[in-house]
Structure 1
Amino acid sequence: MLYLKMACLYCRWVLYSIQKDFFMSAIFTKDFFTHMYRRKNFVPRLLLVLFAVILMGFCLSWLVLCDMGTDPCTMMNLAISDKLGMAIGDWQAFMNIVLLIFVIIFGGRNLGFGTLANMFLVGYSLQFFSWLWGIVLPAGVVTDGVFTSMTVRICVLFPSLICFIFAAALYMDVDLGTAPYDAVPYIIWNALKKKASSIPFRFVRMGFDIFVVIIALIFGGKLGVVTVLMAFVLGPVIEFVGNLLQKVIEIDE
């Protein structure tokens, strides 16, 4: 009950913050996509996006085997898809389509080819690699979808976690559009900047991730150390990788 009240309060705060932007943002148009593929260094940026989102699904498949939590979004999706009896890839695609409608209404400027790539490739990559590991991993290494040995879990956990966080930050900072899920905190941040310009994005992202964790817990999701780490670490890493990319590839327009 406490989780539900906290979730409702957060929703009210978010809606209040962005209500003035309702129906004021750009929607998918021919001009929008024309502008997107004519941006500087479009091809390398697109390749980076595709690499990043597939890498995210790859890393998530290992994190699921470690059974120590995932990022807040995947935690929520795993919990809801399990309740509904849907494959994770199918549910994640459906959820992203629903969120896309919300994001188009409130902030279509955050959409692009990266949006489409993340909407479908992360979930289905996770589903594919999870299926693959179930076939190729030796018998006894995995039991009920998780590594049997705690030593193996810990050894796999850290490189998978580091790679996932970097990949998530990479696809967002390349700036070809973010997934509907990741676009929501940007919309909130942009709305809040009009009222308090000094609010860092990382705090908005952390608050949004914590809100999603609450939803996952309501649906019976399992909270792990990885989930807690990502809720507090992903925002700062996004800023760090963005600054790093400025030195490697032109991403500012």
Structure 2
Amino acid sequence: MTTIATAPIGPQRAGLSDLGPIAQLRAGRLGRRLPQLYVGLVTYGVSLAMMVRGDLGLAPWDVLHSGLIRYVPITLGQAVVVMSFVVLLLWIPLREKPGLGTISNALVVGFSADATLALLDHPDSMALRIALMVGGIVLCGLASAMYIGAQLGRGPRDGLMTGLARRSGRSLRLVRTGIEVTVVVIGLLLGGTLGVGTVLYALAIGPLTQLWLPAWTVQPRSLGSGGFEGRR
């Protein structure tokens, strides 16, 4: 699940804060932030499944996941979970710190995707397939804004991107492009699904998340000295 930390809007403009895992929980407003996190993650899984059933191309990381399941006897959602924890291992040398949202992301999105795939049939109509593809991309942008705006930790793939950017000194956009090209190539070599949906996702996901992120960013309460005041 490639997301949005690379959307054109910067963290400061979006009102996002760079908190450690304990500070994320101590920052309060959990009655709003926790439900928003989990609704966003479940919705993300639903959006992934919609693109799968549309069968017109997947998001870059899901090209890799769809290729992986051709060789390993697991479901697509299980592949999402497995790769999430593989990516988290790469956080160790990058010294990224996971939060509740990080671990939740690694688990909930894949399970939600599998549950949705079990309920959603593959449509025969091209019009319905296009609707599923477009709807999945739009819903993914909304879901990304929700879980990022909850400010409870980066997703595994977002943390890999920000960690590599910090250690290499390269821009987030350049690092994101490098990662996504790499996973798409590996996915294609494994027989993954690439199509027009992959291109549309790459073009639309940043602007869509930028559109919704300000409305879904929850400002935590003040943490005292050196902290910040909540505004929402």
Normalised by the shorter chain, which TM-score bucket? 0.7 to 0.9
> If the length of structure 2 is used for normalisation, what is the TM-score?
0.77
Number of residues of Structure 1 aligned to a counterpart in Structure 2 = 203
| Offset of residue 50 of structure 1 | 0.4
- 1:113 corresponds to: 100
1:150 corresponds to which of 126, 132, 139: 126
State the partner residue of 1:215.
186
Paired residues of 1:66 and 1:156 also in contact (CA < 8 A)? yes
| 1:250 and 2:226 aligned | no
- TM-score, scaled to structure 1: 0.71
Q: CA shift at 1:242, angstroms?
A: 3.9
Give CA deviations for 1:207-232 in whole Å, capped at 9, x if unaligned: 32222111111111121111122234
Q: Please tell me whether the aligned partners of residues 149 and 216 of structure 2 are also in contact (alpha carbons under 8 angstroms).
A: yes
Q: Give 1:133 deviation, angstroms.
A: 2.2
Could you list the per-position Cα deviations for residues 127-184 of structure 1 after superposition, in whole angstroms to 9, with x for gaps in the alignment? 11111224xxxxxxxxxxx321112112333222201122124323432112212211
Match of 2:59 in 1: 71
- CA gap 1:98/1:81 in 2 versus in 1, 3 angstroms: same
Residues 63-110 of structure 1: CA distance to partner in whole angstroms, max 9, x if unpaired? 11110112111221121022212122322222222221211331323x
| One-letter amino acid of the counterpart of residue 50, structure 2 | W
Q: Which AA in structure 1 matches 2:99?
A: G
CA distance in 1, matches of 2:82, 2:135: 30
Per the alignment, in what secondary structure is the counterpart of residue 177 of structure 1? coil
Match of 2:82 among 72, 86, 94: 94
Who is 1:4 aligned against?
A: none
Question: 2:219 is paired with a residue of what secondary structure?
Answer: coil
Residue number among 114, 136, 139 corresponding to 1:160 in the alignment: 136
Q: Which of the two has higher C-alpha Rg?
A: 1
Structure 2 matches for 1:106-145, cutoff 5 A? 106-109=94-97, 111-134=98-121
Q: Note closer, same or farther for the CA distance 1:80–1:59 as it changes in structure 2 (3 Å cut).
A: same
Give the CA deviation at 1:236: 4.5
Task: Render the CA deviation track for 1:6-65: whole Å, top value 9, x for unaligned.
Answer: xxxxxxxxxxxxxxxxxxxxxxxxxx6432311142331221110111001112222111
Q: Distance in 2 between matches of 1:151 and 1:242?
A: 30
- Structure 2: state its 5+ residue gaps: 1-19, 221-226
Question: Structure 1 residues 93 and 232, CA, compared in 2 at 3 Å: closer, same or farther?
Answer: same
CA distance in 2, matches of 1:133, 1:33: 36
Task: Name the CA shift for 1:128/1:215 in 2 (closer, same or farther; >3 Å).
Answer: same
Give the match's secondary structure for 2:95. helix
Report the equivalent of 2:224.
none
- Relative to its length, the structure with more helix (as a share) is 1
Shift of 1:203: 4.0
2:30 is matched with which residue?
42
Tell me how far 1:240 sits from its aligned partner: 4.7
Are the aligned partners of 1:202 and 1:235 in contact in 2 as well (CA < 8 Å)? no
TM-fit CA distance, 1:120 = 0.9
Mapped partners of 1:68, 1:36: distance in 2: 38
